[in-house]
Structure 1
Amino acid sequence: MKTWLAAVLLPFLIAVVIVAEPLRPAAQTQYQPQAQLCVDGTGNTLCSKLPAYIGEDSRLGLTVGYNGLYGEPPRSAAEDVQTPFDNMAWQMFVALSWAADSTAKPPAQGLTAPGPRVWQTYTKVSALFGNSKVRAGCTQALALPKFYIGSDGNGKPAPNNEEYLQASTNLPLIDVNGNWTLFERRVNAIEASYLRAPQGLSAQTLTTRNGQLNFIKNNPKGAEFTSSASVADGKNGSIEIKAAWRVLDPAKDDASKYFTQNILLAVAGDLVSNGKPFCRSEKVGLVGMHILQRNPFVEKNKALLAQWIWATFEHVDNAPLAQAPCNVSNGCGDPGTPTYWINQPSCGPAAPVSGAHYSFYGPPQSGQGTNIAPQGPSGAKTQFPWNPRPPYAQGGTTPATAMPQAVRCWQIYPTTSALNTQWRNALGSVKSVFQNYMLIGTQWGGQLEPPTPPNPVPANAVPGMLSNMTLETYIQNYNGSNSSLPGPGSCVSCHNFATLVDGKTSANFSFLPGLVDPVATRSMIKTAR
């Protein structure tokens, strides 16, 4: 059986992610998956109900393990293992994007009403683990959300509040206007409750160092985040959100294409090129989002590990697709060829798209590769200093980087692409700005037949590789096989390194408990990736 599987799977290695243009019809195939617009059982109308599980999936009962995203695209719904997860991902994204004060209203109102969305009512991680050591004060009499870019007081950014360094590498992403990309994290009430008092025991809180040490004594197997008790109860498990934002320039950007908010951007003085803190009002647009939900163990679907379901979304205008991307037909090329991208920092030049205006890809620069990390000014106290005024990433008199040349390295899987078209059309029909976002992929815990060369990828999740261009720009192709390189471009493989404060007890795939020791957390995340 394994020999047969290997022969079938080898020619068609992994396709995970990417679509470049909005609302372009997916390539016609004999089988087309169907969007389930609501988890209520009908699936005919967009709704604000947040799903808790994928529901029935006959493919999950296979004893040989998942076929996953390898091999030929499915020829029928019975062969389609990916679509239930992708539909759940879209259902989560849409329900979380409903206006928080309009969840009882129909989609034409709930998805277009102004104000915070459901996920923006979730708890910020700083409310659980405390603020950064140094934050800028905001004296403006404006009732706006605050984005604190805090520090350790010695020129190093701290991860407690909002950030401008990607967790995967401790490197920033700069947009075409020369501004740093901003990141925020939130958790739902279920996860916040567990972090504060696992099993209701506040003495074992995971939000302090001493609490974690007490927890470890009584729970040597580690953390076990709350999931729904069963499929039948329909209750959600723990949810983590990570969002990426870019500062919009009214002279250059069309804000109507983005979900936006006005914020007070507060940057600690030791991170600013002139040494002075600032707090300034800015309009920011959503460009990326991770959604993680802890799923339950279900006997009939026991091949789905009781871990997390990971969904990641991006704005359609973030970046172009590479000319020779990794895809379902050719994997990532053959070793030794110019288009073999595994464990390479770049995946080649972008495919030309006439008239496109991207957020993270500017006019090509001579001799500059794609997805190359920025370099900070030599000898500066802060590796990536803030300019006191936009463009924020210029670092005073010494440019912090060349123009961004970010591209997508993985082409979207065919069934996910087809679903994207359907979901985005449904959102367009109610004139929602969220029609301008796309699902990059959905990953879940499962066991695969070990992948074989020439395109080895991690085998502890399906699909084996998944990354968000705004959140993991520089590691899209890394598989974690070489300790001298960044860690894997896979959500599950990376978060498998997450531990509690002792550095060895499992944190159940979440890096958040590490915020009790921000310096160690920053180091651990970089090492893990």
Structure 2
Amino acid sequence: MNQFTCGAGVCAGLLAASMAFTRPAPAATPDPAPGGCNAPASWFSGRSVPKPDPGNAAQFNSNCAFHQFSWQSFLWLTQVAAPGKLRFETLYSDRAIVPGAPRPREHVLGGVNQANSHGILVDQNGRAVYTAMMIDDVYRNFVIKNQLYTAEGMQKADAGMVFPNGALSLKSTWKIVAPGEDASRFYTTDATIELLSKVDGGVGIDANPKTARAKVALVGLHVAVVVAGHPEAIWATFEHVDNAPDFGADQRPSDVVSEHSYTFYKGGTIAADCNANNASIIELDARTQILSPPTQACRQYRTGAGDLSNVNNIDSLNHSVLSQLAPRSPWKNYREVGAVWFKGKNKLVPDWTPNVDPNPMTGSTLLSSAVIETFTQNTTSENGCFSCHNTMAVTDTNDITRTLSGKNINTSHILLQKYLNVATVKR
């Protein structure tokens, strides 16, 4: 079946090229060992998962509690909330931080170049992986009220200003489903994608891109929620279990990571050939939208690292949630990779980065997504959420009027992208 509707002869090329590829068979995923961190039965006993309460400070009293909040958020966000749409698909687009933005809840998949590395995750069919960013009404109302969508508003904002409890932002990550490809293990939907072109000597999406309709499968969801006592937000990453293999604890560069094939990994690939940044070598056939070479993605830190209790809690909670989901639920094929937040009484302060002071962080302190931060997992200054989402000053601009002092709200790249008017924010 042709999954595309577009003009100028583009669809014929897309269909012909995608027919030449087949998705590798899903790799087997072992059940994690059960432990002491479990999902309450009440999440699954009613018609819907209760909305998590970000204002109840008393609940955030253990490592397990933060992971429970993350999983509950994921389940709540992935419930059907409107005909043909999950709750996260009904949120505002990140473009909606500007008052009067047209079609504020329309989600066009227009992100392909990954932050900092500028590489593009290419699946085994040769297609780019796309992203979209979304925000809730708490986040949007706070930004508009304080005029943080303008350069002047960002400059005037107090350095200690923080997002209110419940402010939520997320990044969804999608793989294009080839005609005839089995996507039964994924949540799928039809979406508008922006087509690739050659941009500034590389590959990306230009300022006025052509678009197409495509069937897409969800491969990752990155969720950040501000909760009571934690204005830094809980940053949690969820991925499909078929995405990529994990490095072993004693993984050597010359050793094969897995004999199984995954969505973004060809079985038998050695570790040294994983997560290679392709920004300078990637090639595009603009007519078919096929990229080469395909990416061999691996997950460097299985749970985003953390101490033994953090690892055990993630494994236990994943096991508990998946065992209680309905047998045919597509969400049985997704899991929490990890989550990171601040420990104890550590407070978010301006001009902070974990690259200088990692002490405030706890949980999955080296958390990266294999499908969102594929190429920076082994870069010490970039292999964790707060490594980029910190409160440091923004000075990497040639326009002095666009530099920004260190502020707590600088953790949100949605604000910085709009403020700087650039595709990515470098730190």
Counterpart residue number, 1:414 = 312
Counterpart residue number, 1:300 = none
Q: Quick one: which amino acid aligns to residue 418 of structure 1?
A: S
130 and 176 in structure 1: CA distance in 2 versus 1, 3 angstrom threshold = farther
469 and 348 in structure 1: CA distance in 2 versus 1, 3 angstrom threshold = farther
Q: If each structure's strand is expressed as a fraction of its own residues, which one has the higher value?
A: 2
Residue 57 of structure 1: how far off its partner (Å): 5.6
Quick check: 1:404 aligned with 2:295? yes
Given that 1:444 and 1:462 are in contact with CA atoms closer than 8 Å, whether structure 2 keeps it comes out as yes
Counterpart residue number, 1:490 = 384
Larger radius of gyration: 1
3-state SS of paired residue (1:322): coil
Residue 194 of structure 1: how far off its partner (Å): 0.8
3-state SS of paired residue (2:65): helix
Quick check: 1:321 aligned with 2:246? yes
What are the within-5 Å matches in structure 2 for residues 220-299 of structure 1? 220-227=158-165, 237-251=166-180, 253-267=181-195, 271=199, 278-297=210-229
- Could you tell me how far apart the structure 1 residues matched to 2:68 and 2:27 are? 20
Counterpart residue number, 1:458 = 358
Quick check: 1:115 aligned with 2:12? no
Given that 1:319 and 1:361 are in contact with CA atoms closer than 8 Å, whether structure 2 keeps it comes out as yes
Counterpart residue number, 1:141 = none
Q: Deviations over 1:316-344 (max 9, x none)?
A: 0000112336xxxxxxxxxxxx85xxxxx
- Could you tell me how far apart the structure 2 residues matched to 1:93 and 1:194 are? 23
- Could you tell me how far apart the structure 1 residues matched to 2:108 and 2:284 are? 14
367 and 92 in structure 1: CA distance in 2 versus 1, 3 angstrom threshold = closer
Q: Deviations over 1:329-374 (max 9, x none)?
A: xxxxxxxxx85xxxxxxx6645334xx4411102446896211111
Residue 166 of structure 1: how far off its partner (Å): 1.2
- Could you tell me how far apart the structure 1 residues matched to 2:315 and 2:357 are? 21
Counterpart residue number, 1:387 = 285
Residue 476 of structure 1: how far off its partner (Å): 2.0
Please point out which of 64, 72, 78 is paired with 1:97: 78
3-state SS of paired residue (1:194): helix
Counterpart residue number, 2:342 = 445
Please point out which of 194, 217, 234 is paired with 1:309: 234
Residue 461 of structure 1: how far off its partner (Å): 1.1
- Could you tell me how far apart the structure 1 residues matched to 2:125 and 2:405 are? 42
Counterpart residue number, 1:514 = 416
- Could you tell me how far apart the structure 1 residues matched to 2:227 and 2:329 are? 29
What are the within-5 Å matches in structure 2 for residues 32-431 of structure 1? 32-38=36-42, 47-53=48-54, 56=58, 60=61, 81-101=62-82, 115-129=84-98, 147=108, 162-198=110-146, 205-213=147-155, 216=156, 219-227=157-165, 237-251=166-180, 253-267=181-195, 271=199, 278-297=210-229, 305-324=230-249, 339=252, 349-353=255-259, 356-364=260-268, 369-377=273-281, 386-394=284-292, 402-412=293-303, 413-429=311-327, 431=328
266 and 56 in structure 1: CA distance in 2 versus 1, 3 angstrom threshold = same
Please point out which of 448, 456, 478 is paired with 2:379: 478
Q: Deviations over 1:416-443 (max 9, x none)?
A: 11211221122233x2211111000121
Residue 445 of structure 1: how far off its partner (Å): 1.3
Residue 494 of structure 1: how far off its partner (Å): 2.2
Residue 223 of structure 1: how far off its partner (Å): 3.4
User: Gaps spanning 5+ residues in structure 2: where?
Assistant: 1-25, 304-310, 347-355, 395-401
Q: TM-score, normalised by structure 1?
A: 0.62
Q: Quick one: which amino acid aligns to residue 361 of structure 1?
A: Y
- Could you tell me how far apart the structure 2 residues matched to 1:468 and 1:95 are? 21
- Could you tell me how far apart the structure 2 residues matched to 1:32 and 1:194 are? 38
Q: Quick one: which amino acid aligns to residue 221 of structure 1?
A: A
241 and 349 in structure 1: CA distance in 2 versus 1, 3 angstrom threshold = farther
Q: Deviations over 1:86-133 (max 9, x none)?
A: 1111110011101113xxxxxxxxxxxx6111111111112335999x
Residue 497 of structure 1: how far off its partner (Å): 4.1
Given that 2:159 and 2:408 are in contact with CA atoms closer than 8 Å, whether structure 1 keeps it comes out as no
Given that 1:269 and 1:278 are in contact with CA atoms closer than 8 Å, whether structure 2 keeps it comes out as no
- The percentage of counterpart residues that share the same residue type is 23
- Could you tell me how far apart the structure 2 residues matched to 1:438 and 1:98 are? 16
Given that 1:173 and 1:180 are in contact with CA atoms closer than 8 Å, whether structure 2 keeps it comes out as yes
User: Gaps spanning 5+ residues in structure 1: where?
Assistant: 1-19, 61-80, 102-113, 133-143, 149-161, 199-204, 228-236, 298-304, 326-337, 340-346, 378-383, 395-401, 450-455, 481-486
Q: Quick one: which amino acid aligns to residue 257 of structure 2?
A: A
Given that 1:37 and 1:45 are in contact with CA atoms closer than 8 Å, whether structure 2 keeps it comes out as no
- Could you tell me how far apart the structure 2 residues matched to 1:435 and 1:367 are? 28
- Could you tell me how far apart the structure 2 residues matched to 1:493 and 1:447 are? 20
Q: Deviations over 1:297-332 (max 9, x none)?
A: 2xxxxxxx442111110000000112336xxxxxxx
- Could you tell me how far apart the structure 2 residues matched to 1:130 and 1:362 are? 45
92 and 420 in structure 1: CA distance in 2 versus 1, 3 angstrom threshold = same
Q: Quick one: which amino acid aligns to residue 31 of structure 2?
A: P
Residue 268 of structure 1: how far off its partner (Å): 6.8
Quick check: 1:27 aligned with 2:28? no
Q: TM-score, normalised by structure 2?
A: 0.75
3-state SS of paired residue (2:300): strand
3-state SS of paired residue (2:223): strand
- Could you tell me how far apart the structure 2 residues matched to 1:194 and 1:57 are? 24
Instruction: Compare 315-324 and 286-295 and name the one that shifted more.
Output: 315-324
366 and 49 in structure 1: CA distance in 2 versus 1, 3 angstrom threshold = closer
Given that 1:278 and 1:388 are in contact with CA atoms closer than 8 Å, whether structure 2 keeps it comes out as no
Counterpart residue number, 1:104 = none
Q: Quick one: which amino acid aligns to residue 336 of structure 2?
A: L
3-state SS of paired residue (1:50): coil
Counterpart residue number, 1:151 = none
Counterpart residue number, 1:483 = none
